[in-house]
Chain A
Amino acid sequence: SAVISQKPSRDICQRGTSLTIQCQVDSQVTMMFWYRQQPGQSLTLIATANQGSEATYESGFVIDKFPISRPNLTFSTLTVSNMSPEDSSIYLCSAAGANEKLFFGSGTQLSVL
């Protein structure tokens, strides 16, 4: 299993600013994922982050809005750019473990005023 440290755990931001969320895994993992979860809702995949290549974004998410870095096999960041109140959500990073299981960080609760 993998232990994932995600920070910040929560933040309150002003409209128009950007926030970078960091995710550190305690072991090397090939694939990492970033999800968004709105209150009481399902998880929506934002993008897949592989080391050494550009992130792959899902429909409705673009690199300019959600730039992702994956500098090595244990770390990734997601930036939420030019924020608006509609970006208020929980953002979750996850890593692919053995046998198609996912391990998750504890999430970042973002509120945009």
Chain B
Amino acid sequence: AQSVSQHNHHVILSEAASLELGCNYSYGGTVNLFWYVQYPGQHLQLLLKYFSGDPLVKGIKGFEAEFIKSKFSFNLRKPSVQWSDTAEYFCAVNARGSTLGRLYFGRGTQLTVWP
């Protein structure tokens, strides 16, 4: 079975600080990787995804993530956070080619940005 670990449960930053949220997964095969964001009171929205190709993927709102296969990692980054980035962030993985498309989520990281 696949599993996803997010190292930070709660991250607190000031505006303009740089952000990096860690994500590691355990699975021996080829995977698709995702970051979802959940703003307060809202449902999950896809931030970015990696299927294949360039391991550095760019998403919405200035976020990017880098897939490092040797480290089984898919860390999320943003050079300069804003107050509006306050949200919960979830890393997720599924086995590529899975006919079921099951997605395994990490426990989430709550990001709080102070203005």
Check if A and B associate: no
Q: Which residues of B contact A (CB under 8 A)?
A: none
